[in-house]
């Protein structure tokens, strides 16, 4: 992106580093392996047929979503304790990535639900609380998107995240209780005897998605960090530019005024004194 | 702390008594919603009776949002927020006072709403004890969470739209528990209704405790 600047001498020049480049390569290789395992190598399930293949994306997405929201909650608590930019940026990056995976988990769940349950949506306890979680963290990101003093915004956002964390078990418990009173659990839990290959594919998915999560959060963190530096630098530059142009244009405008004044037949001394 | 709470609650209620915003604006809003639900569904069918608990609590949720907005609207002008910060009152006391004022106003509105619903929808009232306990606990939870989000959104641009986005999903569990409790109580199953009330007591405790702790830091430099 940009070279290190005067406003932030230690700032990295771009969002990549050797570590994340290697990590990115591992993730790309892992993804290729996961696609091969999920679509070609692993057999279809006896009960679910080919629909089971979407589980290799769905389950890791849901798990990664919990990493993201969990990390956001932890970083928010750390921010309120330490009050450093690091924890604020980490909380934001984790929440954004978590929200993406939350959306992915919901979408893949709905696609899986159509052939399995016969409908895209069921008022299942887990589904419902996941969607509510999605809305809660959308609100969190809405607070983060506000244009205001970063320290105040960081504090308010941190409290929203903490409230969401505390609300999470409450939501889950009440939704669970609510559904269980109305109907028996509709979906059969995972096959009692999971085929070895299915399990291996699922585990591969978990590992690859975890690495992908780490990679994404690191990059998102750095992008946001540089964006903030850029903002500060932009402000500093603007002030600098104003100062630089301060002397010259004022002199020029004074000349202009002097010229006008002289044609009008009055002195410029009074004007100079006031400006 | 409790003295501070009483002072703040007294101030908010006195403001309300003198301006009569709840009476002249929020109360008609509640009645309008009851009517609109009637228009949206078949008023003659039993459907309205069946969905009364849900409609009742949805209305309370919307009303709670108005009350919370109003509660912090009165603090926003003439540097009142700075006055509160500099008053030396315990932040948790201010929080409890504001929450208590919202709580009392909501309770008063719920009484009217309950009467309107039973009159206009023809919902027979049963299990009154459970209904009252549920209303007290759910309203405490709503006022607690609402006041916390109210101070959080206070002074921000777009707070009118931000508050519903933060508040409504967060109190979804209260809606579930309160509606279930009402439904069971109205169906004559008070014992099961009380189980949901117990859950509501837990929610109220958690929300009010969190709000009391978070209010001080959130009030600063808001």
pLDDT of A268 above 50: no
pLDDT of A250 above 70: no
Output B19 or A96, whichever has higher pLDDT.
A96
pLDDT of A7 above 70: no
Output A242 or B200, whichever has higher pLDDT.
B200
Angle at A152 (CA atoms; ends A149, A155), nearest 5 degrees? 145
Gap between the Cα atoms of A237 and A212, Å rounded: 37
pLDDT of B215 above 80: yes
Output A165 or A194, whichever has higher pLDDT.
A165
- Chain A residue nearest residue B163, CA to CA: A139
The verdict on a CB contact (< 8 Å) between B166 and A80 is no
Tokens found for residue A82: 């330490």
From the centroid of its chain, how far is CA B170? 13
Mean pLDDT computed over A242-267: 66
Cβ neighbours of A159 in B, within 8 Å: 148, 152, 214, 217-218
Q: Within an 8 Å CB–CB cutoff, is residue A166 touching chain B?
A: yes
pLDDT 10s digits, B2-36: 888 888 888 888 888 888 888 888 899 999 999 99
| pLDDT of res. A243 | 85
| pLDDT of res. A230 | 87
Q: How many CB atoms lie within 10 A of CB B200?
A: 26
Q: Within an 8 Å CB–CB cutoff, is residue A123 touching chain B?
A: no
| pLDDT of res. A272 | 45
- Chain B residue nearest residue A166, CA to CA: B206
| pLDDT of res. A256 | 67
**Chains A and B: how many Cβ contacts under 8 Å?**
71
pLDDT of A267 above 60: no
Q: Within an 8 Å CB–CB cutoff, is residue B184 touching chain A?
A: no
Q: Left, alpha or beta for B79 (phi > 0: left; psi -120 to 50: alpha)?
A: left
Q: Which of A170, A173, A176 to mutate to test the interface with B (most CBs of B within 10 A)?
A: A170
| pLDDT of res. A12 | 61
DSSP-derived secondary structure for B69-135: HHHHHHHHSTTHHHHHHHT---HHHHHHHHHHHHHHHHHHHHHHHHHHHHHHT-PPP--HHHHHHHH
Q: Within an 8 Å CB–CB cutoff, is residue B199 touching chain A?
A: yes
The verdict on a CB contact (< 8 Å) between B166 and A143 is yes
Tokens found for residue A128: 């419902």
CA of A141 to nearest chain B CA: how many angstroms apart?
A: 10
| pLDDT of res. A270 | 43
Reported as a pLDDT band with limits 50, 70 and 90, residue A253 is low
Residue for token pair 């508040």: B167
Give the three-class secondary structure for B7: helix
Cβ neighbours of A163 in B, within 8 Å: 145, 148, 170, 210, 214
Identity of the residue in A139, A155, A170 whose CB atom sits nearest the CB atom of B206: A170
| pLDDT of res. B86 | 85
Cβ contact A77:A91 at 8 Å:
no
Q: Within an 8 Å CB–CB cutoff, is residue B181 touching chain A?
A: no
Average pLDDT, chain A: 82
| pLDDT of res. A207 | 94
Reported as a pLDDT band with limits 50, 70 and 90, residue A239 is confident
Give the three-class secondary structure for B42: coil
Identity of the residue in A132, A147, A159 whose CB atom sits nearest the CB atom of B169: A132
| pLDDT of res. A251 | 61
Tokens found for residue A34: 């996961």
Identity of the residue in A138, A146, A170 whose CB atom sits nearest the CB atom of B173: A170
Cβ neighbours of B152 in A, within 8 Å: 143, 156, 159-160
pLDDT of A132 above 60: yes
Cβ neighbours of B202 in A, within 8 Å: 170
| pLDDT of res. A194 | 62
| pLDDT of res. A186 | 42
| pLDDT of res. A269 | 46
Reported as a pLDDT band with limits 50, 70 and 90, residue B131 is very high
Q: A78-82, A236-240, B102-106 — which is least confidently predicted?
A: A236-240
Cβ contact A211:A27 at 8 Å:
yes
Domain ranges for chain A: 18-186+193-236, 244-274
pLDDT 10s digits, A50-95: 888 888 999 999 999 999 999 999 999 999 999 999 999 999 999 9
Reported as a pLDDT band with limits 50, 70 and 90, residue A264 is low
Q: Left, alpha or beta for A265 (phi > 0: left; psi -120 to 50: alpha)?
A: left
Q: Reduce the secondary structure of chain A to three states and give it as a string.
A: CCCCCCCCCCCCCCCCCHHHHHHHHHHHHHHHHHHHHHHHHCCCECCCEHHHHHHHHHHHHHHHHHHHHHHHHHHHHHHHHHCCHHHHHHHHHHHHHHHHHHHHHHHHHHHHHHHHHCCCCCCCHHHHHHHHHHHHHHHHHHHHCCCCCHHHHHHHHHHHHHHHHHHHHHHHHHHHHHHHHHCCCCCCCCCCCCCHHHHHHHHHHHHHHHHHHHHHHHHHHHHHHHHHHHHHHHHHHHHHHHHHHHHHHHHHHHHHHHHHHHHHCCCCHHHHHHC
pLDDT of A134 above 50: yes
pLDDT 10s digits, A101-120: 999 999 998 898 888 888 88
Tokens found for residue A184: 């028996």
Cβ neighbours of B145 in A, within 8 Å: 163
Domain A18-186+193-236 sits in CATH at 1.20.120
Burial class of A9 by CB neighbour count within 10 A (0 to 12, 13 to 18, 19+) = exposed
Q: Within an 8 Å CB–CB cutoff, is residue B213 touching chain A?
A: no
Tokens found for residue B198: 């117990």
pLDDT 10s digits, A192-212: 556 788 888 889 999 999 999
Angstrom CA distances, A35 to A30, A39, A201, stand at 9, 6, 9
pLDDT 10s digits, B45-85: 688 888 899 999 999 999 999 999 988 888 877 777 788 88
Identity of the residue in B166, B199, B206 whose CB atom sits nearest the CB atom of A160: B166
From the centroid of its chain, how far is CA A40? 32
A139 Cβ contact list (under 8 Å, min separation 6)? A160, B162, B165, B166, B169, B170
Using CA atoms in the order B181, B185, B189, B190, what is the torsion angle rounded to 10 degrees? Answer: 80
Gap between the Cα atoms of A249 and A245, Å rounded: 6
Gap between the Cα atoms of A16 and A268, Å rounded: 58
pLDDT of B124 above 90: no
Gap between the Cα atoms of A147 and A91, Å rounded: 18
From the centroid of its chain, how far is CA B203? 13
| pLDDT of res. A193 | 54
Which helix (H) or strand (E) segment is B17 a member of? helix B2-19
ipTM associated with this complex:
0.89
Gap between the Cα atoms of A146 and A47, Å rounded: 48
């Amino acid at each position: 992106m940009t070279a290190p600047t005067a406003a932030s001498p230690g700032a990295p020049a771009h969002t990549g580093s050797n570590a994340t480049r290697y990590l990115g390569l591992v993730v790309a290789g892992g993804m290729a392996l996961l696609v091969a395992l999920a679509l070609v190598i692993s057999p279809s399930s006896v009960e679910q047929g080919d629909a089971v293949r979407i589980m290799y994306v769905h389950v890791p997405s849901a798990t990664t979503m919990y990493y993201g929201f969990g990390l956001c909650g932890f970083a928010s608590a750390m921010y309120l304790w330490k009050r450093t930019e690091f924890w604020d940026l980490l909380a934001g990056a984790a929440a954004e990535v978590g929200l993406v995976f939350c959306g992915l988990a919901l979408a893949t769940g709905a696609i899986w639900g159509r052939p399995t349950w016969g409908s895209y949506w069921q008022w299942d306890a887990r589904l419902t609380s996941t969607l509510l979680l999605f809305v809660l963290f959308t609100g969190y990101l809405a607070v983060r998107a506000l244009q205001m003093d970063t320290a105040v915004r960081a504090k308010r956002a941190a409290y929203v995240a903490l409230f969401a964390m505390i609300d999470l078990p409450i939501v889950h418990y009440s939704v669970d209780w609510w559904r269980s009173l109305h109907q028996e659990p509709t979906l059969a839990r995972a096959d009692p005897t999971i085929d070895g290959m299915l399990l291996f594919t699922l585990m591969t998915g978990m590992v690859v998605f975890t690495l992908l999560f780490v990679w994404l959060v690191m990059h998102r963190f750095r992008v946001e960090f540089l964006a903030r530096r850029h903002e500060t630098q932009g402000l500093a530059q603007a002030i600098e530019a104003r100062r630089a142009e301060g002397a010259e244009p004022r002199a020029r405008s004074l000349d202009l005024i002097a010229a006008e004044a002289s044609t009008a037949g009055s002195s410029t001394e009074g004007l100079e004194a006031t400006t | 702390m409790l003295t501070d709470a009483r002072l703040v609650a007294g101030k908010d209620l006195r403001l309300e008594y003198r301006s009569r915003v709840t009476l002249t604006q929020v109360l008609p809003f509640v009645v309008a919603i009851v009517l609109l639900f009637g228009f949206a569904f078949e008023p003659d069918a039993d459907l309205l009776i069946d969905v009364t608990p849900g409609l009742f609590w949805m209305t309370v949720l919307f009303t709670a949002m108005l009350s919370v907005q109003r509660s912090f609207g009165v603090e926003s002008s003439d540097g009142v927020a700075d006055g509160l910060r500099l008053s030396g009152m315990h932040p948790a006391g201010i929080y409890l006072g504001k929450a208590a004022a919202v709580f009392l106003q909501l309770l008063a509105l719920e009484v009217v709403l309950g009467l309107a619903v039973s009159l206009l929808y023809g919902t027979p009232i049963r299990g009154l004890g459970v209904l009252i306990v549920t209303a007290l606990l759910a309203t405490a939870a709503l006022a607690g969470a609402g006041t916390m989000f109210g101070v959080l959104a206070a002074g921000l641009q777009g707070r009118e739209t931000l508050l519903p986005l933060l508040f409504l999903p967060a109190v979804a569990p209260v809606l579930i528990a309160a509606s279930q409790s009402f439904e069971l109580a109205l169906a004559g199953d008070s014992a099961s209704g009380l189980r949901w009330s117990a859950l509501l007591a837990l929610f109220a405790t958690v929300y009010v405790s969190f709000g009391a702790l978070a209010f001080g830091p959130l009030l600063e430099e808001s």
